[in-house]
Amino acid sequence: MNRTLRASLRAVRAVQRTLKWVNAASPARFAEAIAAYFPGIDKSTLNCCLARYKMLAIWGQDCRTPETGYERLVRSLVSGGFVPSGVPFGIAVDNRIANESCTPTLRRRYVEVNAFRTSQAHAAGTDICAIPWRNGHGDDGYRSVM
């Protein structure tokens, strides 16, 4: 195994551990851990945002990029004017390393969670949530993400 592949696997496994922590942590603990990165947002607002995101299962259970999530992101970026067009999933995403880092148990859980996430978003009546946005040019506020 070459050095680049080993480094990539270590990075993917680190993301995997982080996602495991994110999914296990309470919104309050999560808010406490990341508050320094959002100095303009009070902790109660951050806590509420994270609770909503967790309810909608915004963060995946593993580090693979699902095609539906990627396509939703592309539509959001194009409709928001952030990019003129999207790159097809098959060109932009390569899940091979992520697939290799996931155990069979994680793969099975991935399918279960994606089905749950879809049903939760529909039960909440939306696939869209508002996220805090800071662009450094005074255009701060909230943006909708599909």
Read off the pLDDT of residues 1-59 as tens digits, 9 standing for 90 and up: 588 888 888 888 898 899 999 999 999 999 999 999 999 999 999 999 999 999 988 88
- Kindly state the DSSP code that residue 65 receives in the 8-state scheme: -
Task: Count CB atoms within 10 A of the CB of residue 105.
Answer: 8
Under DSSP, is residue 16 helix (H, G, I), strand (E, B) or coil?
helix
Residues 83-96 have a mean pLDDT of: 90
Contact predicate 64/98, CB 8 Å? yes
